Amino acid sequence: MKEKLFITGIGTGVGKTICSAALVRYFDADYWKPVQSGDLHCTDSMTVKSLAGNHVICHPETYRLQLAASPHQSAAEEGIAISIHDFSLPETQKYLIVEGAGGLMVPLSDTEFMIDLIVKLNIPVALVIKNYLGCINHSLLSIMMIRQRELVLKYVILNGTFPSDTERVICRYIKNETTIIRIPDLDPPTKENMETALENLEFIQ
């Protein structure tokens, strides 16, 4: 059975879907978004297909929620209570990329968070980091939380360019068993630019 990987981020808007599409292409993987909150006319599964190719198998979301908000709020608006026990990994013989919503502590309910779902699924983690003011703090706290919950941090994905001082501090906190992946900026995020990014993908042990 091929490997499975959970893509999370240090926050919202750091490029998890773009990085997921890149890894879907790189590993010739299937894709699964457990919870889609809002943007049902242009879901993350649709974005992955547009960037990685229509041949990609995107497994159905467990929850498709109308409101573009935290899953616990979106679900409450529809009278739904989400539990981590509602989720099970899709069956596939291929590599599987699973993309979370937001960061590790995004609530699925009042008592369960995205990191609880990762623990329940029991698969390795890839943490997406993008440069912005505060990203060092958010990165180190996220890595600390992953270690605290005894999850396997297989990859740290540096999405785009970073000041050397920022990158140095973050990378010094990453243990040797974690591989760093550098993904160039996709500006704009098109299939053509994805091809260029894949040609320049760096894996650093």
Show the domain range for 172: 4-204
DSSP 74: H
Annotated binding site for ATP: 13-18, 44, 99-102
Token pair for residue 118?
């990762």
Q: Which residues pair with 182 in a beta bridge?
A: 158, 202
Count of domains forming the chain: 1
| pTM for this model (two decimals) | 0.95
Catalytic residues: 33
Largest distance between two CA atoms of the chain: 47
Rounded-to-integer distance, Cα 166 and Cα 10, Å: 14
DSSP 91: P
Would you call 129 helix, strand, or coil by DSSP? strand
Q: What is the CATH number of the domain that holds 173?
A: 3.40.50.300
Annotated binding site: 13-18, 37, 44, 99-102
What pLDDT, in 10s, does the model give residues 107-162?
999 999 999 999 999 999 999 999 999 999 999 999 999 999 999 999 999 999 99
What pLDDT, in 10s, does the model give residues 75-119?
999 999 999 999 999 999 999 999 999 999 999 999 999 999 999
